Structure 1
């Protein structure tokens, strides 16, 4: 039996999340149908940009669900610019962390580390201050005036998959919008949904929270 076969379903889901986050692309350009629709989309994208850029730090609980309904959970920590950490529950011996430059998946059970540039990740919409979300964002109509959705897709690179950010109007959140969830769909149509709850803004977060202990035998130094 291979290592992959030995891995628990929860840990496979965690790895799938990291892969989905790592292989996406810049947001596709909006193609408005009419000038009125373009103005409305522009205003809403302005709201999304303002909300994302207004977050200094955020802690939230997250629940990650695959298309079969299997779920893992943990705590998300975000610090702008460029840092995020997904701390899974104790039964999932993995970590996903971004330090401002790279998104890293750390699998402690098999002593494996995988790393991707943030600029190649859909999380760049959250973490990369150089990412022009308004210019490259595609607004998806939700039918609910209190819910805004932005799709991340590169039609020239379908292997990168798709990710959709969902924002909910909330006066208590920075910029008046709360990051509620996102849905990642990879090139094999494997869907992963991440939902956030118990948002805490402006909490003190040290940069050391975005380092990790390298499990590989050749390097046990904190990174």
Structure 2
């Protein structure tokens, strides 16, 4: 009788897919350090619930470009320690902030070490993804970032930036293409100001 009762339990355990192990901070840091250049289509869910799409370009260290598709008229560039937000419909000078004031500076660093003291404030896994919550330990008031990774292979799939007012912006990546070379002009804030 005991064998008959255990049989369905054993069968069920064989048919349920194994959950992915939580990625370690070392594995995630190694993955992020494995590429200098990357690009991906993205979908952005803004804090007000609106949705934007575009293409993301990353060139580490310190450079990023969010090129938004119409009807959005925005372009976000990071270079030389600054982030510039352009409204291409209105023209004029961009809003500019120090890159260090944004949690994106964590993944744009020359060398990424998520195990650095106080940088990571949480790590969680739901069996499919690993979420790393991080913030600049010297500028906690500037917000935080949740980086969401899948395993086998390790890939950055999305992030959620939480600002100092409690607003959250989610960026969902498409296929992240790494390698190749991205020209520095893609990230040139001063050249963009002259357009």
Q: For this structure pair, what is the TM-score category when the shorter chain's length is used for normalisation?
A: 0.7 to 0.9
How far off is 1:49 after superposition?
0.8
**Which residue number in structure 1 is paired with residue 183 of structure 2?**
206
2:163 matches 1:186: yes
User: What is the count of residue pairs matched by the alignment?
Assistant: 171
Q: In the TM superposition, what whole-angstrom CA distance separates every residue of 1:156-194 from its partner, at most 9, and x where no partner exists?
A: 9664233211111142xxxxx211111122233222111
Query: Which residue pairs with 1:75 in the alignment?
Result: 55
When you count helix as a share of all residues, which structure comes out higher?
A: 1
Structure 1 segments of 4 or more deviating over 6 A? 154-158
Q: Is the 8 A contact 2:101 2:139 kept in 1?
A: no
Partner of 2:82: 102
Match of 1:151 among 133, 136, 146: 133
In structure 2, C-alpha distance between the alignment counterparts of 1:211 and 1:55, rounded to whole Å: 21
Residue 174 of structure 2 corresponds to: 197
SS state of the match for residue 74, structure 1? strand
Q: Does residue 129 in structure 1 map to residue 106 in structure 2?
A: no
TM-score (norm 1): 0.67
Structure 2 contact 73–87 (Cα < 8 Å) conserved? yes
Q: Deviations over 1:122-163 (max 9, x none)?
A: 11111122664211223321221x422111246996642332
**Distance (Å, rounded) in 2 between the aligned partners of 1:147 and 1:53:** 19
TM-score (norm 2): 0.76
Cα deviation, 1:49-72, whole Å, max 9, x if unaligned, reads: 111111121110010013554210
Any conservation in 2 of the 1:119–1:128 contact (CA below 8 Å)?
no
- Matching residue of 1:115: 96
User: Do 1:59 and 1:203's aligned partners in 2 also have CA atoms closer than 8 Å?
Assistant: no
Structure 2 unaligned blocks of 5 or more: 1-20
Match of 2:42 among 59, 62, 75: 62
Gaps of 5+ in 1: 1-39, 172-176
